[in-house]
Structure 1
Amino acid sequence: MMSFIFILLFLLLVGGASPEDDQSSEPTEPMCDDWGEEGAESVLEGEVGWLSCPLFSHPSVYNYSSTHSAGLHLFWYHRPRGHELEEPIALSSRLIKHKDRLWFQPAERNDSGEFICMLRNVSSCSRMTVRLHVLPRDNELRGSACEPPVAVAPEDVQLYLQRGRTLDCPHLGDATKMADGPPSVTWYRVNRAQSWCQQYPFWNSDWQQEGSSLRFHNMLVQYQGLYFCRVQYQRGDLVLVYTRVLNVTAVHSISLPKEPSVLRPAVDEVISVRTGSEVRLVCRGLFPVMLEHPWLDIWWTVDGKTLDQLPDHQRFSQTSREVLYNFGDRTVENVLLVQPFSSRDLDRDFNCSVRNQRGFETRRTQLEEEGTPPSVELGCGLGVTLVLMLVLFVVYQVFWLELLLVYRSWFGSDERHTDDKEYDVYISYARNSEEENFVLSTLRTVLEDELGFSVCIFDRDSLPGGTITDETLGFVARSRRLLVVLSRGYASRGSQALLELKAGLDGMALGGHLRVILVQYRPLPRQVWVRELRRARVALALVRWRGDESRELTSRFWKRLRVELPVRRAEGGANKTLLRLLSQNSTSSQTGLISTTRKDPDQVLNRTA
């Protein structure tokens, strides 16, 4: 009995422990290392596309052949757009896994989202995510009428000028592996700048399609642009297509020299720098096009050392940028910034260096200290210049009439030698006692006796028995100036003064051989002027008689009047008159203007007052 109970307890203990022992003996799934997300691919709806597992983009870590032989298996999962959980991909005739790629033949709209590729075995697991965008087929992807839509960015292709080369459609070898037969390729050439496109064959024999490739026999500048290749192949009962685009640009011929050269600093160029300030030194190099080895380098050295090797490297920094691209030839500029520039830097060697696969060149920069401008001397010179300009401005404003008279006396031309006029001045005035005394006793006397002008006055110089109209017009036509003495009674309708005024205005407007001068003897409002005077006032010179102020020959009235009258060279008494005009200190020693006339000047001025 006791032995039976002991056996029963032993079986219960063994039976209770066996399930736990069996569960612990099962292999557990390893934790998966997530490498994050890398890249994104785009494909056009209805066309062929594929995703490459980004884990194999690091060959030093994962290689497809070695991982497959090591027992690692590749699995694909899909997380649709807007979902949180990924789902295993059910492979089919449309979704095909071929080595490290997942093919979509063709892609559909709901394929957009995140795709996770996972490498795992019983002991390790790694995963990485790549994103896929399936673009709808609409008009936004089409640039012109015959341009095929494409979702993949263009590949840049550079062709040497005057050389030939063959263009291959990208990924054509991959499509050949998935096709049941050789694929067919259709080429298109597109010029978006001129909004046209053309399907092969093109208009001349410089292009030729050889199988699936496009052959350039002779590359020219005008052949640059976008070239589309549309690949079509058969897989089972399906006809599948995809499109790629190449951006073809021309570069300089391969026969040209390919060694780099330093453009700046130029040979024997001396750069002025200022100590204690920020100094920028420019190194500019030309790098000819090289398709095989396109790398280049441009840098500064100081005393044969790079900037990071200098003990005071904190003061130095450099930046590079491309300033010109010309058919593959690149001009690159490197700017060295020294802040602050010290006096001991003048003795250091600053070298600009350029290098590519073909050669190397370096050039030393010659520096000199910029001279400090003498601030005291510069300030004094500027002050003297300003004072001199101010003095000249004041002198001109005060003595501009005198200066103009002196200039005319030296450089002015005598009109008597250039025309056939008989009189210098014809005086037109109202026929009343007040204006007549002013004209005969003042104007005529000074103009003829003092200044030497020939004056014509109708009442004095006309012959008896003639026609007033004909003689008036004749006198005006034979005069160089028409001097009009304005007063309230001047130029009333039907008067001889109005006839003289119209004749002078017509002569000035038509032939330009006569100028009209207005002398305002008494102040009068503009409203009383006749219409002819109001219209011509803008082009006429107006000289105002100011009574006692205008008596002396050195007054502003006579100077202003002389400026308007013809030029007379200084001869005899005229020379003395010019000296009196320019000498203000001798004014008190001159006799009164009217005292030189044949009438009493005080009586004339009292009558005019």
Structure 2
Amino acid sequence: MGQALNIDLHSDSKYTPEYLADMELSHPPKETLRLPMTPVLKQTFLRNMETPYSVTAIPSKLESRYRTVPCKESCLECGVHYEATISSEGQPVFMDCPFCVQTHDNDHGYNFTWYKNDSTTSFSMERHARVYSDGRMIKFVPARLEDSGFYDCIARNSVNCSKKSVHLIIYKNDDGLCYNKEQSYLQTLYAPNDKVVCTGISYFKDKNVKIKWYKDCKPLNDSRFQTIEFNLVATNLTVDDKGFYTCEISFEYDGKIYNISNTINMTVKVIIPEPSPVIINPTNGSIEAELGSNFSLPCNVSCRWCDVNWWINYTLPELYSSRYIKGGDYIDTILQDGTRIRTKYLRNTDVKKEDYDQIFICLAKTSKMATRVYVSLKPPDTILRRCLIGIFTVFGLVIILTEVMYKIFKIEIVLCYRKYCLPLTYKGVSDGKLYDGYVIYPKSNKPIMAHMNIFVLKMMPEVLEKQCGYKLFIFGRDELPGEAKANLIDEIIKQSRRVLIILIKKEAGNLFDDGFEQDVALYNALIHNKDKVILIEAENIKDYTSMPESIKYIKEKRGAIRWTGDVTDRALSANTKFWKNVRYQMPPIPSSQGEMLLRVKPYKM
């Protein structure tokens, strides 16, 4: 300690003569003075530099062991940082120096000094030390139980100086556990979806580290939990998911791998949605009220808690008219099952005509939902009005019932009318037609042609000609030899009231294998007389795409009658469903019946 310091005592010297005089030196101060080391260290280090000056010259050998101590008394005291740093023993701890918000914006140009509690000795800056100051941070590599306590950080530049304390808590894990229950962080998650935040490791957020999660010290393997950055995102949470969740990261520091972990004591809350209020009565509609009367209309609402009010065109009743009395407070009724029924009355002392034109609204609302009912007033129904309503109601029902019955029994009704009523009104005026129906059917070598010939040449004449009195022209039966086919078709169609075309499936080639389809006269006649054409399917034909355009057109407009292929004696009755459909589309009066109406005996239905 025999070394001395050279102190510059020029006009700008940091050590004034008065200051040196306080040191009780035996020599008067001069421009250059050599002072013993012991008094200088005593005045500058132990007394914490009571003046705002510092030593300007320190031997280089002392720089590594001692640092210039800032003046604590002249710094702004900022108290203790609101958040303590908590870690378990054996883990590295990197503690940041928090700035005073009022004085600092960033750490540019600041020097940082760390002390423990009220110690006057600052921490070393040597990296090899277990605890050392590294710029703005103080690092414990690793931390021990005895490191717990308060640490003072002094930040100083040429203008400002502030001091703030940080609380460090180093704990020991509970026996047999990877955490300490008392030192765990508390977090409450809300079902069904929320996230667990790994707290206390903000220093590592920008580092390339991986995080692992444990529940009750066991690896967390649940697909409902996904790690996103430093958060544990959870879906479909239940109250059974509560527990101690530990987040652990591993990182390398000075060539050694360290693990840092923190534990969160997580609880789960299930928020039960507030039920929507239910208006029991009234319901949407109208209510009778006599002119000049007074009425009281309750609005009954079932709810846990709700606000119930009446409105008239979105105006409070008492503000709308003085005839409406303020409803007053609610009337609450608690049922045996605990249900609350809240009632609010709408009262009117004198019903006027203008009240019948208003919309009355019962509005029930909670903090998140609302329900409303719309009601109007109407005069009471009179006996005459009720009778008129009943008559028109019955009349409407009769019309609807008649229409339904007609659609169901249309064919029977029409045939019955033709049998009993039409002959009485028939005037006997001829339309000049020779035939009631012109029958065209295909001719081919298909197996169905055997049934086809029976149907066309036997059954149709038996039913339509003999039983019903229609006169048919069947091609292949009634034409004369040598007649021109095209001219004959066109002429016969013109002389016929209906054209009956028997259809079979068209598998290949023409529809009519004997060349009928190629007759242009047939197509012209079908298009110009589409209302007279009756299509009869001899087979179940589902696809008409290969049919002639004229056939497809008529099928789309008028449909077709399906023959079941029955050739038994029962099928020869005109009262079967098939023959009724054919007769329905045939002329109302057969030509033979029109010529000899008085001499022809009507056939049976």
Does TM, normalized by the shorter one, top 0.5?
A: no
Q: TM-score, normalised by structure 1?
A: 0.31
* Structure richer in helix, relative to its length: 1
